[in-house]
Amino acid sequence: MKKTSKTLITVVATLAITTGFSTNVDAASYRVQSGDSLWTVSQKYNTSISSLKSINNLSSNTIFVGQTLETSSKASGSTYTVKSGDSLWSIAQKHGVSVSNLKSWNNKSSNTIHAGEKLVISKSGSSASTGSGSTASVTAYKVSSGDTLSHIAKRYGVSVSNLRTWNNLSSDMIYVGQTIRLTAPTSGSKVSEPKKVSEPKQETASIAKKVVAEAKKHVGTPYKWGGTAPGGFDCSGFIYYVHKTAGMDINRASAASYYNQSVKISSPEVGDLVFFSGTYKAGISHMGIYVGDNKFAHASSSGVQITSLDNSYWSKYFTGYGAWK
């Protein structure tokens, strides 16, 4: 009976994906929804909490909304050995895949990697497909409310890096009504609204203002280790929540991972990132959002606050500024 139950669940999950009305990423993955717990997910997929933790490399029972959980082990494809200085972002770019796929194929719940680690960089037997399960034939997609670049990439079986290249995007930010090209441009292409495909500077500035406005709303919120909600934030959880709420498509990651994903700049603009090293551990250990006037918003051990970069404590650990790629 247990085997039959698993088979039925897999079939149902597959059908749900092909119709585009499921939160499952594929038959062996599940995207966490509000109210979920490891127990409810384990019940849904007829597995155990310990198995889910093992497959997803979880050290606790904590999961968060939007996180992708593997519900069964996957077969490996080609592999890549991580080198010093690598990040999931740079590896994804190098191999033309998405960060979310790298995490999915390697059962990762965060963007943390280490030198010498072997990563699966392609999934055996994978092929580009649309949300209807057929080989990709759609050439463009109009962004709807709630869409993110990674979700569009996953839906149509392409990589985020390719979407950015094909659409001349300098970051993962997209906006409602924007037309996203799903295939490489060809001469004589008739994809509509070509000018809207690239991201306008005014849209970038608008997002930056939203980020800063959202950050300021949470001044006074207490610190909470691993916190990603208004009830309590840690430093990277604050960055994740503020940017997602402002409409940016970013994954929950550590300050060090965000540092690796960013473009290093010397002069910040409002909405850029500020990084610090060695505050409680070696390397990048803290970050915030530049809000202008030489100040940054961040979730410190004292809670969310706006602090001057000339502050006697933080100035000692200041490392530099970053902008989203």
Question: For 27-63, how does the pLDDT look when each residue is reduced to its tens digit (9 = 90+)?
Answer: 356 777 888 887 877 777 767 777 777 666 677 777 7
With contact defined as beta carbons under 8 Å apart, do 226 and 234 qualify?
yes
Counting Cβ atoms within 10 Å, is residue 151 exposed (0-12), middle (13-18) or buried (19+)? Answer: middle
For range 154-162, the mean pLDDT:
78
Q: Which of 151, 218, 243, 298 is catalytic?
A: 298
Instruction: Mark 35-47 as b/e (b = at least 16 C-beta within 10 Å).
Output: ebebeebbeebeb
**What residue spans in the chain does CATH classification 3.10.350.10 cover?**
1-73, 140-199
Superfamily of 140-199 according to CATH:
LysM domain (3.10.350.10)
Longest CA–CA span in the chain (Å) reads 66
Write the DSSP symbol of residue 97: -
Look at residues 19, 15, 56 and name the one whose alpha carbon lies nearest to residue 38: 56
Q: Which of 114, 218, 235, 243 is catalytic?
A: 235
**What residue spans in the chain does CATH classification 3.90.1720.10 cover?**
202-324
Confidence of residue 254 (pLDDT cuts 50, 70, 90): very high
Confidence of residue 109 (pLDDT cuts 50, 70, 90): confident
Question: For 15-34, how does the pLDDT look when each residue is reduced to its tens digit (9 = 90+)?
Answer: 333 333 333 333 356 777 88
Q: Which two tokens stand for residue 255?
A: 């300050």
* 151 among known catalytic residues: no
Q: How far apart are CA 135 and CA 128, in angstroms?
A: 6
Q: Which of 95, 151, 243, 286 is catalytic?
A: 286
* 218 among known catalytic residues: no
Look at residues 238, 101, 247, 100 and name the one whose alpha carbon lies nearest to residue 173: 247
Confidence of residue 9 (pLDDT cuts 50, 70, 90): very low
User: Mean pLDDT lowest for which of 51-55, 178-182, 185-189, 289-293?
Assistant: 185-189
Domain 202-324: CATH architecture, name and number where available: Alpha-Beta Complex (3.90)
Look at residues 238, 180, 170 and name the one whose alpha carbon lies nearest to residue 204: 170
pLDDT computed for residue 108 by the predictor: 80
Q: How far apart are CA 56 and CA 66, in angstroms?
A: 14
3-state secondary structure of 299: strand
Question: For 197-235, how does the pLDDT look when each residue is reduced to its tens digit (9 = 90+)?
Answer: 334 444 556 788 899 999 999 999 999 999 999 999 999
Q: Where are the alpha helices (DSSP H) in 224-268?
A: 235-246, 255-261
Superfamily of 1-73 according to CATH:
LysM domain (3.10.350.10)
* 286 among known catalytic residues: yes
